[in-house]
Amino acid sequence: MSTNLQFDQIRLPRECDALRQEVRAFLADEIAKGTFDPHRPGHGDSHDRAFSKRIGAKGWIGMTWPKKYGGHERSFLERYVVTEEFRVANAPVRSHFVADRQSGPILLKYASEHVKTNILPRICRGELCFVIGMSEPGSGSDLFAVKTKATKVDKGWRINGSKIWTSNAHIADYMIALFRTSPPTNENRRHGLTQFLVDMKTDGIKVNPIYQMSGQHDFNEVVFDDAFVPDDHVLGEIDGAWKQAASELAYERSGPERFLETFYVLLELIRAIGREPDARSADGLGRLVAQLHTLRRMSVSVAGMLQAGKEPVVEAAIVKDLGTVWEQKLPNRVRELTAFLAPDIANRVTLEEQLAFATTIAPKLTIQGGTTEILRGIIARGLGLR
Amino acid sequence: MTNDSDHIVTESAARIFADLADPQTINRLDNGAWKAPFWQALCDAGLPLAWVPERLGGAGATLAEGFAVLGVAGRFALAVPLAETLLAGWLLTRAGVAAPNGSMTIAPSRPSDRIILDEDGTLSGSAIGIPFASEAQHIAVLAHGRRIVVALVAASDCTIGEGQTLAGDPSNIVRFQRVKPLRYARTPLDHTALMLMGSVSRSVQTAGALESILSLTVSYANERVAFERPIGKFQAVQHNLARLAGETAAALAVSGSAASTIGQSGNIDKSGFFEGASAKIRCVEAATEGAAIAHQVFGAIGFTKEHILHRFTLRILAWRDDFGSESYWAAELGRHVAQQGADEFWPMVASR
């Protein structure tokens, strides 16, 4: 517990430059082929399995994983470059991104050899989509209130209950889920939860869509009715899932996707104000640029520290807190800064479409993957206040 | 941002600061009696002329080492012209002008001020908000004649007005009325480079001060009891402190990034502009936000003269306007980005 914050001055190494050019060329080619439109962020938020397979063929999924599981043993900084370039281009990565960022690393750490050999190479080829099964109707930020039950039976477990807000469940092949295997104890309310790998094709699993206010379909309710999960799909220690969360979360929290989610409206702002902006526009843009640069330098620093084997848990939570609040406010900032521009600016339609989209997705940015309130609690704990 | 040699330099600096310029001790004294022995100790350690090469009479430290010292100076909210003397030494010796002993400052310190070198070799014009001008023995002046020059001037040859910053440090208008420099030479630097170097120095100092503010504020929240609990146990207070940590983190990261960029290239080029302007903008935002949060957590006691909090908060607020405010740099940076156009923007960000 300390108030000492550390942000090592990490620059992306030289070898990343060639990689970045390769990624940009690939994306330019896909845009030319009509795979996606970089000016339509709604598309970037969608899934396209054929595109994911082409990304897998380039070696850009599971980049940091061991070669024997289909990975490429490249650095986290190289993965960083690929992630940010895809995000900035609004490329549709939904189909493989969760598996690449989160699920794969959990399997690498906790799955049986058999499961790893079977599943990881398919993730790397872009063939598999993963969903995270954490929240339940009565358990959101408070994960330890999970009730969906896994009951021990011969050779495996029977699952009963439901998960909610499960993004991608309707297209996913596998879920990594948190189920209750024992009641909590008086000494430790975190006890009794276990992580499982669940094949979404299992009998007894039903996926019901939940449509979002942005018009997208991403959320679902997943109902388990006596669904069977075999023993070798248990991930890590039975009843001890609470010990497994911390270190992976640092990766999940600090990546470029935590501040670039509405980046496209900033590009449209630059187009809208033109080459010779007035003082108000220039001042407004300059502040946003400085804020973005700061967030990126913080995020790269955390990636580099993780690569070096450090555990910047508080720093990663800070990146997500500052980054998501920033990307959430960005659409309104752009709206304010374009308020006095001439009505006939060339990109008016695109700007308005993008602002409308960004505004409707903005509320989720400070909720998904750990709310602002939870993050500030983690930071406070790190400072020695809890 | 530190490597081994930065570490040795900063540790010895921190020892001197703690021994002779401890904020708690200084705050109790109502006079400047601590200043002379402290400055002498700094000189003995070669700190004020750290950025002057050995052949020109300085300590020959790297830019990175100097910035690291300024970070530590920020942590102590030093009320002596250490940053100013460092900058003056850097400005002079970049033009090959030897640096004198004693304290110095630099002019101008505002983007819109210009000092003119006349045909007869004298300086004319005025510059506002010159930090520590009334305490410094010499002023390093960036002046515009047929070419840009750096001139070394005795402070006693200038007319120096009254004035102080929010924190009570000298901040003076300096008038040059046909002042004859002790020496001058052409410089490869320009006005923007001086403003950026000053801005990055202030950013690094601000980040250091915010580190101390965070540590002081968290300690206080853990000790102060209200409603039968330490106030740091209240979620509302915890969330304020988490935001303070966020602002401190942002200031540390962006100022460190700018310092390392200038430190590595040794020059203030296009990257130095992007990084330096960003650092000043974001560090000023962090200063404004961070000072407000700290005072809110401390309540009434933090508003007293007796408490040391103001030594830090008022300095970071005062530094906001030195070498270009955040509004100035934001407009400059915004214009630069707009001129390059939207397609060039992401490559610019990603190259840093």
> Does residue B108 have a cis peptide bond before it, meaning omega lies within 30 degrees of 0?
yes
First to last CA, chain A: 9
Tell how strand B148-154 and strand B159-160 pair up.
unpaired
**Is the Cβ pair A3, B232 closer than 8 Å?**
no
Q: Which two tokens stand for residue B89?
A: 């030494």
| Structural domain harbouring A326 | 246-382
Q: Which of A100, A128, A156 marks a domain boundary?
A: A128
Residue A176: which CATH number? Answer: 2.40.110.10
Architecture of domain B97-189: Beta Barrel (2.40)
Identify from B67, B254, B260, B285 which residue to disrupt to test chain A contact, counting A C-beta atoms within 10 A and taking the largest count. Answer: B254
* Two structure tokens written together for B331: 């407009």
- Counting Cα atoms < 13 Å in the Cβ hemisphere of B136 gives 37
Its sign, for the CA torsion A54, A58, A59, A60, is: negative
- Whole-prediction pTM value? 0.97
Nearest CA in chain A to B344: A267
- The last residue of one of the domains, among A178, A209, A241, is A241
CATH second-level architecture of B191-350? Up-down Bundle (1.20)
Nearest neighbour of B254 by CB, restricted to A282, A297, A376: A297
CA A171 to chain centre: 16
Residue of B nearest to A20 (CA): B350
Please enumerate in sequence order all residues whose Cβ is within 8 A of that of B55, keeping only pairs 6 or more positions apart, or say none: none
Whether residues A235 and A152 share a domain: the answer is: yes
Q: What is the CB-side half-sphere exposure of residue B12 using CA atoms within 13 A?
A: 14
| CA dihedral sign, ordered B154, B158, B161, B166 | negative
**Annotated domain spans of chain B:** 1-78, 97-189, 191-350
Q: Do the Cβ atoms of A270 and B350 come within 8 Å?
A: no
Q: How far apart are alpha carbons B352 and B349 in whole angstroms?
A: 6
How many whole angstroms from its chain centre is CA A350? 26
Q: What is the pLDDT along chain A (386 residues), one digit of tens a residue?
A: 688 999 999 999 988 999 999 999 999 999 999 999 999 887 656 778 999 999 999 999 999 999 999 999 999 999 999 999 999 999 999 999 999 999 999 999 999 999 999 999 999 999 999 999 999 998 888 888 999 999 999 999 999 999 999 999 999 999 999 999 999 999 999 999 999 999 999 999 999 999 999 888 889 999 999 999 999 999 999 999 988 765 566 777 889 999 999 999 999 999 999 999 999 999 999 999 999 999 999 999 999 999 998 989 999 999 999 999 999 999 999 999 999 999 899 999 999 999 999 999 999 999 998 899 999 999 999 999 98
Tell me the residue type at A278.
D
Q: Is A132 on the interface with B (CB under 8 A)?
A: no
- B320 φ, ψ to 5°? -55, -35
Tell me which CATH code domain B1-78 carries: 1.10.540.10
For every residue of A172-237, DSSP letters joined together read -SEEEEEEESSPPPSS-TTTTEEEEEEETTSTTEEEEEEE-TTS-EEEEEEEEEEEEEEGGGEESS
Domain count of the fold of chain A = 3
Nearest CA in chain B to A14: B351
A363 φ, ψ to 5°?
-60, -30
**pLDDT, tens digit, for every residue of A200-242?**
999 999 999 999 998 888 899 999 999 999 999 999 999 999 8
Q: Please list every residue in chain A whose beta carbon sits closer than 8 Å to the beta carbon of residue B277.
A: 286, 290
User: Which residues, at least 6 apart from A15, have a Cβ–Cβ distance to it below 8 Å?
Assistant: A78
Contact state of B245 with A286 under an 8 Å Cβ cutoff? no
Taking contacts as CB-CB distances below 8 angstroms, the residues of chain A near B232 are 380, 385
pLDDT of residue B30: 75
Q: For residue A75, which phi and psi values (nearest 5 degrees)? A: -85, 165
Same domain, A314 and A374: yes
Identify the domain boundary among A211, A241, A271: A241
Inter-chain CB proximity B352 and A293 less than 8 Å: yes
Residues near A249 by beta carbon (within 8 Å), at least 6 away in sequence: A313, A316, A370
Establish how many alpha carbons lie within 13 A of residue A16's alpha carbon, considering only the half-sphere containing its beta carbon. Answer: 20
Within 8 A of B254 by CB-CB distance, chain A residues are 290, 293-294, 297
Q: Cβ of A267 and B346 within 8 Å? A: yes
